[in-house]
Amino acid sequence: MKESTARRNIQQQLQKWQQGVVSVSEVKAWAEALLEADTFDTFIDDWTENEEFSAALEILRMLEMADIELLIAGDIPLLEELLVSPSLESFSRTSTEYFAKVDYLERRAALKDFQFYLTD
Amino acid sequence: MKIGLTIRLSIKKTRRRTSLDFSQRHREDRQLLTRLNDQDGKSCQDYTRDDGTGPYSEHTMGEIKVSLGAALPRTEQFCLTDQPSSSTNTQYPSLEVRSSRGDSFFKKFNESAYEATYLMINGATVGLGGWLLDKLRLSNRVDKDSAFFKTGSTLDDIIGLASLRPSSLLRNLGANLSSIGLSLKRTGFDVVSWTRNVVSATGLASRAVARSTLGEKQATAANRFFRGATSKCSDYEVAKLSDGTTRLSYFAKARNEGYGKHYVQIIDVDGNVLQDFKDTLGPRGLLERKWLRGGP
């Protein structure tokens, strides 16, 4: 797997989130700002043409949707694992297996008092 | 009643209709409409269902009332509502239906329909076309054994197709098929060819297919837009609008049921981006529209 500055930058941001240096809303805002710039010219460097896959892009999009995906700090290890996925197939398998175990009703209930999350 | 009908289908028989019960869905919707009418004592032009989904609008055609969902927020529906009605119903991918009746069911229906409802109309059109083929004893060319064409409640099935919520069609069922393809799949067929001059919105199977429907300059812009989609995105659409512009869009469904983001770009014939926005959608509809370019 080739060295990716994008993946490393995202990992650093995830670590800041885990350490409480930044909040989930700041992580989302950071991802959004990157995505709204011309991400491919300025950020994404792990794109594989044959698979049309970039782990960095996939994670950025997940972070962009953190409020509606109900992403929490407990998901960070998974995001870090996904970030080093060598292929779309392994990325999809790992994320599907993980999120299939998430009880979203329970998570909605737990997060309903946090203004950031959309749980209605 | 004599009806002149020209119908051209580019399809092949593949399998029978799946188990989805359109009639049941329609009955549910109709019950809800009746209840709402009783409660309010007024015509339900726009309403929200008990489960919070919607808004929906009710269209009346003779004695038939059809509930149609609005997949897109009203502010976005301008895209196709100003199209001449003659161009909205006569040219679909692989399907052309014309009725000799001047003031036809289709025309009336389409004239009052919003963009989001065209997908339903596709379904209704195909369903009615199949029903007529059966009545005209031409259905040996298609799938005569299909339960869809044999059922005594075929018209109910047609309306059932039309009352399917756009979100169901677009997001849950239509990820790998176009709307018209989906309708045909449901009735036992597979689409084998496409026309490219699609006027109404068309769900596309992938980024690659979406890009392939455009000319060179627009394809470059579409490449740039669609490559921002991830592996879990779906409902890639290329819609040529009546003013010559083209709308590109795709949908990212959240794992948190009922939520998602809809990414939209409108480009001109040279591929210049005129509008760029993303909608955050929830179970109750539009939560937020964020304009990136060309906003009000």
Question: DSSP letters along B74-125, please?
Answer: GGGTHHHHTS-THHHHS-BTTEEEEES-TT-HHHHHHHT--HHHHHHHHHHH
Confirm or reject contact between B293 and chain A (CB < 8 A): no
User: Taking CB atoms and an 8 Å cut-off, how many pairs form between chains A and B?
Assistant: 53
Q: Provide the ipTM.
A: 0.93
Give A87's DSSP letter. S
Per-residue confidence band for B207, with pLDDT thresholds at 50, 70 and 90: low
Over the stretch B51-102, which tens digit does the pLDDT of each residue have? Answer: 444 444 443 333 333 333 333 222 222 222 222 222 222 222 222 222 333 3
Residue A68 zone, left/alpha/beta (φ > 0; ψ -120 to 50; rest): alpha
The predicted structure's pLDDT at residue A2: 65
User: A-chain residues within 8 Å CB-CB of B283?
Assistant: 120
Model confidence at A59: pLDDT above 90: yes
Identify the sign of the CA torsion B168, B9, B125, B135.
negative
> Whole-model pTM?
0.54
B159, B37 contact by CB (below 8 A): no
Task: Quote the pLDDT of residue A60.
Answer: 95
Give the mean pLDDT of chain B.
Answer: 49
Position of tokens 């997060």? A111
Tell me the pLDDT tens digit for each residue of A6-17. Answer: 999 999 999 999
Chain A contact for B135, CB < 8 A?
Answer: no
Residue with tokens 């455009």: B214
Q: What is the pLDDT of residue A38?
A: 74
Cis peptide before B93 (omega within 30 of 0): no
Instruction: Report the Cα B295 to chain-centroid distance in Å.
Output: 26
Question: Using one digit for the tens of pLDDT, what is the confidence trace for B93-102?
Answer: 222 222 333 3
Q: What is the pLDDT of residues A72-117, one digit of tens each?
A: 999 999 999 999 998 888 999 999 999 999 999 999 999 999 999 9
Indicate the burial class of A75 (C-beta count within 10 angstroms; 0-12, 13-18, 19 or more): buried
Q: Quick one: pLDDT at residue B287?
A: 86
Contact at CB, B283 and A120, closer than 8 angstroms: yes
